[in-house]
Amino acid sequence: MPQFIAPDVLVHASFLDAMGEFVEEGDGERSLLVHEMERYAGSWHRADVFAGYVERLNAEPLEETPRVEGWVPSTTLWYVEGDTFLGRLAIRHRLNPFLRELGGHIGYAVRPTARRRGYATAMLAGSLPVARRIGIDPVLVTCDTTNTASRKVIEAVGGVLEDQRGGKLRFWIRTGS
């Protein structure tokens, strides 16, 4: 049964396979991973580099963690089944101007070979209690205006469309009762 885990070196091989799938796919859902792919792709295969990447991701929720200028603290969760990486989800703890307009609180990506199995819906639904524990209610979730599958996922977990900006649909989802 798939579950969320904190980033972990135990899924290293499967993570690399998934990143290969995103690269082959080109633009689209991999946009969530572009920064990491550009920074690490040439060396992710090395166990020490991957371990450092995992350590950095797990430190991101802390305010004192150094981060790229303008980035906010975030919690990254990996969706796995056993040692198979299925997808990634990031919960941004607050909105900066860019995130308020286009990025939202939650971004997710499911590896191409694991799509159309309900994982994205399960991931987004499962992220709402985590966001609530962080103190976020409601959450802003966005998707490209042309991404019908993502729109259906967001609406399936209670997303209410606010508007469209910059090629993105902007939805709000309650995390509390």
Cβ within 8 Å of residue 27, ≥6 positions away = none
Which residues span the domain enclosing 102?
A: 3-173
**Which pairs count as long-range contacts for 160-169, CB under 8 Å and 24+ apart, including other chains?**
165/101, 165/102, 166/101, 166/102, 168/101, 168/102, 168/142, 168/143, 168/144, 169/142, 169/143, 169/144, 169/145
Q: Structural domain tally of the chain?
A: 1
Taking the C-alpha atoms of residue 12 and residue 149, their distance in angstroms, rounded to an integer, is 28
pTM of structure? 0.91
Q: What does each of the 177 residues of the chain score in pLDDT, given as a tens digit?
A: 999 999 999 999 999 999 888 878 876 545 556 566 666 666 888 899 999 999 999 999 999 999 888 899 999 999 999 999 999 999 999 999 999 999 999 999 999 999 999 999 999 999 999 999 999 999 999 999 999 999 999 999 999 999 999 999 999 999 986
CATH number of the domain at 77, please.
3.40.630.30
Taking the C-alpha atoms of residue 150 and residue 171, their distance in angstroms, rounded to an integer, is 11
